[in-house]
């Protein structure tokens, strides 16, 4: 069996996040086997080659903040996409109690 790279693991995990849910950068890093690599997950999202397969807009900061997005008008577009999918917000932050997805 071929060994997956960190980036491949990250993309596989993020591809599974359902509409209306989010995961944090740190959460994705842990699931990819590299706890503490939240910034590296952010770089993977920045370099995401296909947002239709890997919905990078569904990855948020550990406090629910919308940090960075390279599509459209940046964070504004990210929020619009999340709202259109039914993600719950508390002010400018995603309500993680309502919208965070965990793989069980």
Active site residue ranges: 56
Q: pTM for this one?
A: 0.94
- Position 103 scores a pLDDT of 81
Length of the chain equals 104
- Position 104 scores a pLDDT of 65
The CA radius of gyration of the chain, in Å to the nearest whole number, is 13
Three-state DSSP class for 48? Answer: coil
Confidence check: pLDDT of 2 > 80: no
Domains of the chain, earliest start first:
6-89 (1.10.10.10)
- Position 4 scores a pLDDT of 87
CB atoms within 10 A of CB 101: 16
Cβ contact 27:64 at 8 Å: no
Structure tokens at 12: 């596989």
Give the model confidence (pLDDT) of 44-82 as tens digits. 999 999 999 999 999 999 999 998 887 888 899 999 999
């Amino acid at each position: 069996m071929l060994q997956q790279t960190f980036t491949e693991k990250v993309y596989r995990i993020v591809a599974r996040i359902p509409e209306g849910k989010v995961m944090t950068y740190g959460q994705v890093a842990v699931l990819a086997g590299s706890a503490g690599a939240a910034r590296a997950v952010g770089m993977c999202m920045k370099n995401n080659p296909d947002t239709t397969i890997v919905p990078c807009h569904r990855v948020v900061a550990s406090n629910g903040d919308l940090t960075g997005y390279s599509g459209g008008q940046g964070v504004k577009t990210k929020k619009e996409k999340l709202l259109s999918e039914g993600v719950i917000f508390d002010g400018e932050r995603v309500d993680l109690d309502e919208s965070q997805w965990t793989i069980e």
